[in-house]
Structure 1
Amino acid sequence: MENKVQLGTLSMNSSPHIVTKLDTAKTMKYVLLALLPAFCVSIYVFGARVIALTAVCVIASVFFEWAYEKLMKKPVTIADFSACVTGVILAFNLPSGFPFWMAVIGCFVSIVIVKQLFGGIGKNFANPAIVGRIVLMLSFTTQMTTWPVPRGVDGTTGATPLNLMENGGQLASLKALFLGTTGGCLGEVSALALIIGGVFLIVKKIIDPIIPCSFIGTVFVFALIYYGVKGSDAGALHMALYNILAGGVMLGAIFCATDYVTSPIMNNGKLIFGIGCGLFTMLIRLFCNYPEGVSFSILFMNLFVPLIDRTTMKRYYASLYGGAKK
């Protein structure tokens, strides 16, 4: 149920305000369906523990939302499936061997602190799953960077494609990155599975392609220029493709950066937002002591969304009314 604010005789609901047949619950179901291909690939690559870890994150997220709203005597909103989506996306940002109790802490941060304390769905300032991942990364760095190897590979733990790139190891093939037979978090191993989910969401008009395309395109162009100038044994084009297929770029661009609440409204704003996410991702990857920058870049750009909206909407209405006067 949406929160309402009474302004005199005007009753205002929280966003979204566009009336369509597509409600929040149906939207979240589509997102869950879009995540299914990556989920299946992850099970194939890492085994049955993927199911258990994802289930823990979903159950914990739903429970925390229900418990908080009951405690605060607010309408219970678990039927909109938004907590389920948060739980799945958070699980997708974790290694398959991540301890369950630590994952529950991440769910608490995502649902209670980031979402509910700021008023619930539609009012959070940042993507809940992204903040949950960052808190887990800063709190449990060892566990968040211990990567179980894919099925059929010798050993118990190994490096991710981004770790190999940063440390000068033998790079994974582009085919392996595209199909999903490399190490990494649950939801970032198969670019193909994520693209299938993204195309589904675009066809169903759940997300706009501007943010994913500008995000991924900026990563590609930045890497192409950087490695073209610096030089690389693999070649600039290969490294540009490697950067968009490895790590969390696809997952972040398609499923996290496109969050309705924490992304801009206007098309120009979405373009600025996507470019900013891609730019900061590459700056962190190439010039900071951390191989991945997707989560930090999305959180950073989330903070700029009010400014982006205010600027782009002001310019849009100024041009609209200015054109009308002419």
Structure 2
Amino acid sequence: MKHTIIVKKLSPRPRDYHSRSQGNSEGGCHFIESTSRPLSESSRSTSNPDEGLDRTVFAKGRGQRREKLHAELSKLGIDPTEIESHPEQFGTAAIRTYNSFLLPKSPGALAVAESPTRPSVVANNISFLQREHNADQERWLINVDRNRSDGVTHQSDNYRHPITIILDNIRSARNVGNILRLAEAARVESVRLCGMTPRPPHPKVLKTAMGAAEYVSLGDDGESISTLKTVLDLKAKGYKVIGVETTRNATMYWDTAVVQGDVNDCSIAYVFGNELIGVDVHVLRECDGIVCLPTYGMKNSLNVATCAGIVVWDRLRQLHQVRN
């Protein structure tokens, strides 16, 4: 016996694209209107519930939720009365978060709102959204990368600082991605990925580099080569090679002397080693010097990407001071 299944396509539920005014109330619950800018779209938390849904169910407990949320906002230094009397100071996103907590739109959202830790989470979200709104209004933050067409330096687009980063068998793709990102921002000559060091197009490298990898020269034909060979090749070209490693004969980085001729005339290459065993001892023997960063706690070394950032930016400081 054959059965026929009829599928009826339902039209999407209409959405309300307007925020509710402060004076309006539905189901015994007040809404706050953000006057900073109109809402351009509606999320699940701000869309109207189905017509047959009894909204009074979700309004129950609103007073207690408001009291708890206001207490958490006060802990963060936010006057909770301001969010209701001057919502324009908080921005649309913060007001939407506030309203959604006080009046959930579904049984699931209500259950989440009633959890003991939720008021603290929502208060922190509102605090962040307020700071984001204020920063956006005042244009205090530069959060967007510059467009390539705008130019990134006052010098030639082909200019690179005379700095090369050598990675000796780094294991972590995320560390490599971070170093490629800082290398692009510092505009170094190249980053040499040696041995087992992962390289683009490794997905974790590219993800952490956040688009910077394509602008960094790797100084090779795409094949991994030994760190020792890289060091010897660079020394033959006149580079000064410095190993960055915690060894007994290492010089504290702050104590390294930098003269004007050294900064202006010499390209420098820094070698950063494997996270577990450091820079290979055969490589260190070929280095022109070994430096380490001072540490004052139980750990005697930093994350390799953090260390690279400190060393490279201090070199940029040296270049800037001498040339200006």
TM class by shorter-chain length?
A: under 0.3
**Higher RCO structure, 1 or 2 (CA under 8 Å, sep 6+):** 1
Greater helix proportion: 1
Greater strand proportion: 2
Larger radius of gyration: 2
